[in-house]
Amino acid sequence: MIDEHNDIFDSKITLHDRHRFEIKLDIDLPPSSRTVYELESYFFVPSALNIGPKTYTKEDFYSNNQRYIRFRTPKISLSKLCDPKLTTSPLNRVKENLSKILSGSKDPALVELAYDEFKLLGCVVRGEIRDLVKIFMADMETYAPRTPEHGKKLFVGEGLENFLVDLKYLCGQINGLKSEVLDPAVPVKLRETFKFFDEYLSLIIEEYLTALLAVMRRNKAALAAFENVEKELTAIIVSQNRYRAAMNYPSVLKEGENNEVIIYRRGVLKKFISSVLYLKPELDEWQAPTQLLFGLAAGLAMLFAVTATIYAQNRYTMNSVPFVLVIVTSYIFKDRIKDWLKLLFSRNLTRWFSDREIKILDPYNSKTIGLLKEAFTFISEAAVPPDIARIRKIDNITSIDEDGKPERVFKYKKEIALYPEKILSVHDRRKDLNDIMRFNIKDFVTQADDSSVEYPYADPATGQIRVAVCARVYHVNMVIKYSYVDAQGAAKIHFDRIRIVINKEGLVRLEEVKVN
């Protein structure tokens, strides 16, 4: 994972699956009426992959890539979630709303509030468990008894014990809600929501604690030092599958079966719980300047055809061979002129106009809280900005490296305008944002050669001819330019350079190239 920390947002670039990698911006909203961020991504694709304007269009790019904008998960510790004095705890808000419903309130808004708070509670708990487990796993991997870090042992041991105490207490609090939520007086929507939340929590606990237990067992020193914790972890993990079976939840692991239901169910539950954080995008692909210029391209092409027709009528008789040839030729050139002008306009339009705009709506009240503009185009090597070209060539060994790796370049530009005051006036916990873009490279590898090749060589010891199987990869280089204004009002620019290593099967790895 590549993780760059900036003063306004953090950028993270990670592999998502075999064909997609993800760019995630964690954006801290300043208390202002409007704030703007720009992201320009320049892709340098080897010419051998045959990616160009004819084979990889705007439509291909936008249809193959996904983008999400959502609220960042609020940070509330497991112990604080159970603190009755914390008014921002979604657990406390669930209890408050549930109490009113059970007291006879028929206000439908209470049901919707409790519905959202259950989902937000699931997001918060998952985020806390994930972050803590990540810390403990890192410490477990490097733990050694010979280190004079008694403090480290104390932190890992007591920290883990406190984490498990807090987790069990939270689970007890949630279990205590069960009889109230499942009361027939509670609307069906809330009863079903609780079951989804409860099943999701069990899966999350099982998943993350299993990963932690695996790391602990790989480190014999850690296993010996934290034997009691290991036993407790094992007991908690084993109990989760039994609990889901007892509750008749679908996500029960059964040995000897394909267990497709558990993965499918986990995905459904995650989307359901996470939906409370996602903002509503409203796509507007009708861009007046773009459509006007494309119309102009069609008009100019038609003007050529009409002019050629008038010329032919004045010079030749209508049933003559020259007349027919002029008309047919003008028809052929009319289409070519229109396509050429559209390509010319689309290449240059991105300097001033976007391909499309996406309104960012708050799902709470459907008000516009931001605007996202996107533009995609291929550019020539000469049109690559000097600062981008310098970073692309920063790891070249010689001045003639480019001749050995010809590339096509395309640019994706994204501008995000946000209205923090509108967000902060409504939300006291869901404030900062995540802007997530998943790039799909599947089209890049359709014409790639096989991912391995046999390489004959002479054995230096015996002189016999042997064959080595060598991996064949391609390097797609990406330079990202972030532009924003910091909290003091100063313009800031930050660069990332990523080498995307791919083969016929998809993504192999991501490599960060230092730009300073």
Tens digits of per-residue pLDDT, 14-52?
Answer: 888 899 999 888 887 777 777 888 889 999 999 989 898
Model confidence pLDDT, tens digit, residues 481-495: 988 776 666 778 888
Residues 50 and 98 in one domain: no
What range defines the domain where residue 191 resides? 78-278
* 331 CA to centre of own chain: 46
Give the three-state DSSP class for 51: coil
Q: Which residues contact 363 (CB under 8 A, 6 or more apart)?
A: 278, 279, 280
pLDDT of 2:
43
Mean pLDDT of the chain: 83
Domain C-terminal end among 259, 278, 297: 278
Residues 162 and 267 in one domain: yes
Domain C-terminal end among 297, 319, 349: 349
For residue 423, being part of any structural domain is answered with: yes
Burial of 429 (0-12, 13-18, 19+ CB in 10 A): middle
Residues 90 and 172 in one domain: yes
Structure tokens at 130: 């994930």
For residue 176, being part of any structural domain is answered with: yes
Residue 390: Cβ within 10 Å count? 13
Euclidean distance between CA atoms 360 and 358, whole angstroms: 6
pLDDT of 150:
47
Residues 94 and 221 in one domain: yes
Q: Which amino acid is at 258?
A: N
Residue 109 pLDDT grade (very low, low, confident, very high; cuts 50, 70, 90): confident
Euclidean distance between CA atoms 69 and 75, whole angstroms: 18
Residues 373 and 433 in one domain: yes
pLDDT of 147:
53
Number of domains in the chain: 3
For residue 434, being part of any structural domain is answered with: yes
pLDDT of 282:
77
For residue 283, being part of any structural domain is answered with: no
Residues 334 and 367 in one domain: no
Residues 461 and 413 in one domain: yes
CA angle 55, 61, 66 (to 5 degrees): 155
500, 507 contact by CB (below 8 A): yes
Domain C-terminal end among 349, 369, 402: 349
For residue 126, being part of any structural domain is answered with: yes
For residue 217, being part of any structural domain is answered with: yes
Mean local confidence (pLDDT), 82-91: 91
For residue 247, being part of any structural domain is answered with: yes
Q: How far is CA 155 from CA 79, 143, 149, 151, 160, in A?
A: 17, 11, 10, 6, 8
Residues 194 and 87 in one domain: yes
Q: Which amino acid is at 309?
A: T
Model confidence pLDDT, tens digit, residues 386-429: 989 998 888 775 554 555 578 899 999 988 888 888 887 778 77
Residues 359 and 492 in one domain: yes
Model confidence pLDDT, tens digit, residues 237-295: 999 999 999 999 999 988 888 888 899 999 999 999 999 998 887 776 555 455 565 66
37, 9 contact by CB (below 8 A): yes
Residues 98 and 228 in one domain: yes
For residue 187, being part of any structural domain is answered with: yes
- Answer left, alpha or beta for residue 489, where phi above 0 means left and psi between -120 and 50 means alpha: left
Residue 182 pLDDT grade (very low, low, confident, very high; cuts 50, 70, 90): confident
Four-point Cα dihedral 180, 184, 187, 191, nearest 10: 60
Residues 34 and 136 in one domain: no
Does position 332 have pLDDT exceeding 80, yes or no?
no
**Identity of the highest mean pLDDT range in 139-143, 318-322, 357-361, 375-379:** 375-379
Does position 337 have pLDDT exceeding 70, yes or no?
no
Residues 124 and 59 in one domain: no
